[in-house]
């Protein structure tokens, strides 16, 4: 599904990622952990095509396609989704209206008929129920005036509607209380399937109690310094990031 | 007097009071002439292309006039057409005429002594301050007048379509509108300015609006003139005690646009809204001068102008608010925002507050910016193309003003026009 090879990324003339190698197969959940400044979010943003992140070396193959050659919207339509660490508030853009446009852009790309307002609402209501998201969120402007928890839930809600093949969750757990965390995790778990892969970027192992990963990678100073199974996350919980190759 | 003589037109069979008002205005215009950029109010707007063009007096119908009128049809509305400055009964549709209003062509109304015309026409506002309004009055000949009876609530939208053009002849027209809303009446009036694409002409419009005590009047202006037109318009309103007046201006057309919108709150407890959204691209110039006169206590005003500028377009916004010494407890808010989509687009924004009362609340704010990069990225990261994302953000930006449009069919028409116009300029700043 995803193959990241020797990925080097600069942000404003500073090299943040110094050669990342990562292979994510269909249906797998990979957790990327690491201390602040290790480059976790940079990896997520580079994968989504944020213009502020300059790829200087390496390549990323997504289902055999050169992902880095695609614009952010092409990546999204091809099935890559990023749940933002800081979802952007967009006054005046109705959340449901936007989501419908996004879904139909993707459906059009896949050769499917666009959904009309009624079919869209039917789909959305089902997703809302699963995620325990309040209807009112639909009719508000995108993220405007949302609490931190609401923003993250809205991200998961978008993900549920857009049904990506690869979802990158960028610190979706940060700032969430335990109830909100559970809602987010339930949303992700409900979507786990042999066809769908996840990259879960997190600082804390807490989230991984709810979203159980197949693989855990520890990032330090722009490199993956350790990879392992779920037990690696538990070890980190106990011992912290010190001594994980973090200099 | 030469410029006036060259531009003057119209019939000689007007009543004495009309001739008098014309004469006064002609004298006034002869004294002041076309404004120059040396004058403060015209510093950024050079009207030399208008002053130097030899315009022919506008004649009647031209090839596209009927189809242009049809193109902006608002179903269910009372339609009054001003064709090249003249009331065109044949293109108008009075079948929806509700009870409680009277309408008249100004020329016929003046001849027939329509009640209220002499009292109000060219009497609402001070032409001295507006050279182009003086020029319009100097040419006072025809147009439409609408009188709403005291207490009448008019649900039927009143749509005034101003269509101008000369089939290749470069014409000037001076359309005139008068709306008088009686005490406690309610009405919604829309004015659409339209011409054939690519046509060059000069449209010099004046609208006078009298909002009686406790009356509620919405006034919408859709300026979609030809991209080569010169469009100068003046909307002046007087609002009586507890009256409510809302002006919304939507503009997408004309090579040079100059809008003066002036509202005088003449009675206690009056309320007004003065909103606008404009789109300028190419090398167009969009100049908006607003003036709010808080003359009495306990009045409120809300003003919001938004501009979207692309290409080498220029915009001017000057928002004047006068709070007179007696206007205690005034609450006035003015906001002007502009989005620049290109490096070459410019705006000059100038709030002008003159406050003589001491117990008032007046705020103003101006912001000029670009599209929010993070918002663009967020929308793109969900699958919208750059153009789709941009249009969605621009829609949201303009939406705040568009949503004030309370005639659904008209709103749809204006939104469609607005976003079609937007797609003219697909170039995006990288």
Q: What is the pLDDT of residues B328-344, one digit of tens each?
A: 999 999 999 999 999 99
CB B43 within 8 A of CB B289: no
Across the interface, which of B373, B380, B399 has its CB nearest the CB of A73? B380
Superfamily of segment(s) A2-239: P-loop containing nucleotide triphosphate hydrolases (3.40.50.300)
What residues of B are in contact with residue A99 (Cβ under 8 Å)?
382
Contact at CB, B392 and A101, closer than 8 angstroms? yes
CA–CA–CA angle A7, A11, A15 (5° rounding): 55
The answer, yes or no, to whether residue B360 has pLDDT greater than 90, is yes
- In this prediction, residue B430 carries a pLDDT of 35
Chain B partners within 8 Å of A90 (Cβ): 372, 375, 378-379, 393, 396
Q: Is the pLDDT of residue A90 over 90?
A: yes
Highest mean pLDDT: which range of A4-13, A182-191, B418-427: A4-13
> pLDDT > 70: what percent of chain A?
98
* B381, B384, B396 member nearest A101 (Cβ): B384
Task: Say what the pLDDT of residue A137 is.
Answer: 87
Polymer length of chain B: 430
Minimum Cα–Cα distance from B371: chain A residue:
A90
Chain B neighbors of A162, CB-CB under 8 A: 382-383
DSSP-based three-state secondary structure for B397: helix
The H or E element containing residue B193 is strand B186-195
Share of chain B above pLDDT 90, in %: 88
B378 vs chain A: nearest CA distance in angstroms? Answer: 7
Which of the residues A47, A49, A70, A73 would you substitute to probe the B interface, choosing the one with the greatest number of B C-beta atoms within 10 Å? A73
- pLDDT at residue B6 in the model: 43
pLDDT value at position A176?
A: 86
Give chain A's contact residues with B (Cβ, < 8 Å). Answer: 48-51, 71-73, 75-77, 81-82, 84, 87-88, 90-93, 98-99, 101-103, 105-106, 109, 141-142, 158, 162
pLDDT single digits (tens) B273-312: 999 999 999 999 999 999 999 999 999 999 999 999 999 9
Chain A contact for B386 (CB, 8 A cutoff): yes
Subunit contact A90:B378, Cβ cutoff 8 A = yes
Taken as a whole, chain A contains a residue count of: 247
Q: Sort B348 into a burial class: Cβ within 10 Å, 0-12 / 13-18 / 19+.
A: middle
What is the rounded average pLDDT for all residues in chain A? 92
Distance of CA A240 to the CA centre of its chain: 24
Tell me the shortest Cα–Cα distance from B28 to chain A, in angstroms: 46
Sheet holding A54-62, edge to edge: A14-24, A2-11, A54-62, A65-66
Q: Distance between CA atoms of A31 and A25, rounded to whole angstroms?
A: 13
Asked if the Cβ–Cβ distance from A90 to B373 is below 8 Å, we say no
- Are the C-beta atoms of residues B157 and B125 closer than 8 Å to each other? no
Going from N- to C-terminal start, the domains of chain A cover 2-239
Residues of A within 8 A of B372 (CB-CB) are 88, 90
What pTM was computed for the model?
Answer: 0.88
Beta strands in A113-214 (DSSP E): 141-142, 166-170, 197-202
A95-109 helix and A117-131 helix, angle to the nearest 10 degrees: 110
Which residues of B212-359 form beta strands (DSSP E)?
216-224, 230-239, 244-251, 256-265, 271-280, 285-294, 300-309, 314-323, 331-340, 346-355
| More confident site: A241 or A21 | A21
**Residue B4 binned pLDDT confidence (cut-offs 50, 70, 90):** very low
Q: Calculate the alpha carbon distances from B307 to B158, B340, B400 in Å.
A: 27, 8, 12
Is A158's CB within 8 Å of B382's CB? Answer: yes
Of A247 and B157, more confident: B157
B2 touches chain A (CB under 8 A): no
Cα(B352)–Cα(B332) distance, rounded to whole angstroms? Answer: 12
Instruction: Give the integer Cα–Cα distance in Å for B280 and B306.
Output: 11
List alpha helices for B95-144, DSSP H: 106-112, 117-120, 131-138
CB A176 within 8 A of CB A185: no
Alpha carbon distance B16, A99 (integer Å):
64
Question: Mean pLDDT, chain B, as a whole number?
Answer: 93
* Predicted ipTM of the assembly: 0.95
């Amino acid at each position: 599904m995803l193959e990241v090879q020797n990925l080097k990324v600069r942000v404003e003339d500073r090299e943040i990622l110094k050669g990342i190698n990562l292979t994510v197969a269909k249906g797998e959940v990979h957790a990327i952990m690491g201390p602040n400044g290790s480059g976790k979010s940079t990896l997520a943003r580079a994968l989504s095509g944020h213009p502020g992140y300059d790829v200087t070396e390496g390549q990323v193959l997504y289902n055999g396609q050169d992902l880095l050659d695609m614009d952010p919207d092409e990546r999204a339509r091809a099935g890559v989704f990023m749940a933002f660490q800081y979802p952007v508030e967009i006054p005046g853009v109705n959340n449901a209206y936007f989501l419908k446009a996004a879904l139909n852009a993707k459906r059009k790309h896949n050769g499917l008929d666009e959904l009309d307002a009624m079919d869209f609402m039917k789909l959305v209501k089902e997703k809302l129920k699963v995620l325990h998201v309040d209807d009112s969120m639909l009719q508000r402007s995108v993220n405007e005036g949302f609490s931190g928890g609401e923003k993250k839930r809205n991200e998961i809600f978008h993900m549920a509607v857009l049904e990506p093949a690869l979802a990158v969750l960028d610190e979706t757990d940060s700032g969430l209380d335990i109830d909100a965390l559970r809602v987010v995790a339930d949303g992700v778990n409900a979507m786990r399937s042999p066809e769908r892969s996840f990259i879960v970027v997190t600082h804390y192992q807490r989230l991984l109690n709810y979203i159980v990963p197949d693989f855990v990678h520890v990032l330090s100073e722009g490199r993956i310094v350790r990879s392992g199974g779920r037990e690696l996350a538990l070890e980190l919980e106990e011992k912290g990031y010190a001594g994980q190759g973090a200099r | 007097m030469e410029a006036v003589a060259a531009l003057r037109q119209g019939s000689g069979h007007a009543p004495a009071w009309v001739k008098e008002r014309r004469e006064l205005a002609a004298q006034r215009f002869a004294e002041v002439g076309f404004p120059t950029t040396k004058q403060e109010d015209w510093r950024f707007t050079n009207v030399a292309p208008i002053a130097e063009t030899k315009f022919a007096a506008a004649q009647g119908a031209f090839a596209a006039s009927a189809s242009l009128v049809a193109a902006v049809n608002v179903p269910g509305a009372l339609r009054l057409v001003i064709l090249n400055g003249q009331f065109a009964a044949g293109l108008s549709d009075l079948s929806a005429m509700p009870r409680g209003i009277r309408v008249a062509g100004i020329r016929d109304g003046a001849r027939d002594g329509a009640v209220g015309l002499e009292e109000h026409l060219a009497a609402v506002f001070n032409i001295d301050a507006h050279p182009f309004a003086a020029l319009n009055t100097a040419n006072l000949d025809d147009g439409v007048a609408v009188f709403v009876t005291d207490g009448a609530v008019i649900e039927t939208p009143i749509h005034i379509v101003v269509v101008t053009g000369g089939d290749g002849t470069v014409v000037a027209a001076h359309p005139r509108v008068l709306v008088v809303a009686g005490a406690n009446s309610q009405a919604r009036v829309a004015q659409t300015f339209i011409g054939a694409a690519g046509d060059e002409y000069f449209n010099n419009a004046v609208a006078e609006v009298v909002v009686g005590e406790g009356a509620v009047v919405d006034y919408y202006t859709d300026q979609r003139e030809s991209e080569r037109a010169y469009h100068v318009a003046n909307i002046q309103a007087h609002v009586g005690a507890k009256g409510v007046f809302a002006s919304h201006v939507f503009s997408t057309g004309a090579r040079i646009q100059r809008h003066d919108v002036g509202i005088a709150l003449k009675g206690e407890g009056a309320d007004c809204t003065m909103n606008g959204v404009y789109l300028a691209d190419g090398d167009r110039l969009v100049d908006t001068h607003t003036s709010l006169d808080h003359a009495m206590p306990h009045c409120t005003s809300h003003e919001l102008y938004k501009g979207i500028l692309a290409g080498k377009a220029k915009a001017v916004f000057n928002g004047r608010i006068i709070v007179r010494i007696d206007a205690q407890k005034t609450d006035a808010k003015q906001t002007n925002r502009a989005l620049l989509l290109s490096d070459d687009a410019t705006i000059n924004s100038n709030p002008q507050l003159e406050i003589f009362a001491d117990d008032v609340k007046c705020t103003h704010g101006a912001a000029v910016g670009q599209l929010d990069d993070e918002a663009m990225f967020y929308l793109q990261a969900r699958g919208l193309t750059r153009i789709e994302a941009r249009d969605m953000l621009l829609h949201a930006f303009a939406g705040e003003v568009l949503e004030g449009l309370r005639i659904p069919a008209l709103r749809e028409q204006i939104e469609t026009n607005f976003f079609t116009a937007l797609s003219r300029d697909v170039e995006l700043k990288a």
